[in-house]
Amino acid sequence: MWSLLEYFPEELRINILDIGAALNEQPPYQSLVNAGRAKIIGFEPNLEECERLKQCYGEPHCFFPYFVGDGRSAIFHETNWVLTGSLYEPNSPLLEKFQNLAELVTPVGKHPVNTTRLDDIDEISDVDFVKIDVQGSELAVFQNGLRALSGTLLIQTEVEFVELYKGQPMFADVDSFLRGAGFQFHAFNGFGSRTFKPLVVNGDINQGVRQALWSDALYVRDWMSLDVLDATKLKKYAVLAHDLLQSYDLAHLVLLTLDKKTGGSFAARYLGQLTESSMEQPDE
């Protein structure tokens, strides 16, 4: 699929906040970075991973080895896999009920740390997209980042449906807060699942049956209030909806609002190009 960036040849740059930015997989915004149309401010408290991010991306992107949270001291629960360490204690009795969970979230140490509030970080301004994966601490980050979230258009946040870490907020808690902060739930981006021991499906210990454990939830700025956004934000919103979410109907809705505000004709052009692209798809 073509990129909507071609509609906006001016220097339209998407500002990305990546909290828990370890490079375990290609981030969803990589195409924007490759196009030179994004700037990342990332946070990764693991010093080795943070340095790797700096080396991988270089300028103008910047990364900080901060534990982002509520600004108070906390205990970091180190585990045997760097990606599963958390400010919440692993719920080992629950994890042990499932295939290949406790094995990836085995406690190996506890460390006192200081956390930093998003809204106390001067480098953060005019955020468009927030990607966050901090193993249960997402709600605390949001609660202490209202300034950063005030202009945000898209949030991709990990959420849990069961208590993988003791006392962590659940999906319902995160959902309630983000809806109250001016976002609409948009979609789940896949589900993490496992079987209860001792069952294994098709020889794959990572494949579940029905029990959903976690997901990445996608939230977008409330599409009932698009008219409060300025033209630049509407352009960025449409790009994010098209290029990252493949939510073409939402992108069209945003472009309609942009046209009403500016007198342009982006929505009609977009609808025509979508129709043409659909017609060009080969029959299966």
Distance CA 173, CA 115 (A): 21
Instruction: Write down which residue in 194, 222, 250 finishes a domain.
Output: 222
Distance CA 175, CA 178 (A): 5
H/E stretch holding 269 reads: helix 266-280
Instruction: Write down which residue in 171, 188, 222 finishes a domain.
Output: 222
Is 168 part of any domain?
yes
pLDDT single digits (tens) 125-179: 899 999 999 999 999 999 999 999 999 999 999 999 999 999 999 999 999 999 9
Residues 104 and 136 in one domain: yes
Residues 180 and 53 in one domain: yes
Residues 149 and 17 in one domain: yes
pLDDT single digits (tens) 95-118: 999 999 999 999 999 999 999 999
| Average pLDDT value for residue range 181-200 | 98
Distance CA 136, CA 145 (A): 16
Distance CA 82, CA 180 (A): 32
Is 4 part of any domain?
no
Instruction: Write down which residue in 180, 205, 222 finishes a domain.
Output: 222
Distance CA 130, CA 47 (A): 21
Distance CA 102, CA 115 (A): 26
Is 250 part of any domain?
yes
Residues 198 and 262 in one domain: no
Is 281 part of any domain?
yes
| Average pLDDT value for residue range 232-253 | 98
Residues 215 and 273 in one domain: no
| Average pLDDT value for residue range 212-238 | 98
Residues 240 and 146 in one domain: no
Dihedral (CA of 174, 175, 176, 181) sign? positive
Is 6 part of any domain?
no
Within 8 A by CB and 6+ apart from 228, the residues are none
Number of domain units in the chain: 2
- Split at pLDDT 50, 70, 90, the class of 226 is very high
Cα 233 to chain centroid, rounded: 18
Is 3 part of any domain?
no
Average pLDDT, the chain: 96
Is 65 part of any domain?
yes
Within 8 A by CB and 6+ apart from 76, the residues are 45, 67, 85, 86, 87, 110, 111, 112, 113
Residues 179 and 216 in one domain: yes
Q: What is the domain range of residue 255? A: 230-284
CATH number at residue 59: 3.40.50.150
Residue 123 confidence (pLDDT): 87
Residues 197 and 132 in one domain: yes
pLDDT single digits (tens) 247-284: 999 999 999 999 999 999 999 999 999 999 876 655 55
Residues 96 and 184 in one domain: yes
Q: Which residues pair with 114 in a beta bridge?
A: 73
Percent of residues, the chain, with pLDDT higher than 90: 93
> Is the per-residue pLDDT at 24 higher than 90?
no
pLDDT single digits (tens) 49-108: 999 999 999 999 999 999 999 999 999 999 999 999 999 999 999 999 999 999 999 999
Is 23 part of any domain?
yes
Residues 58 and 159 in one domain: yes
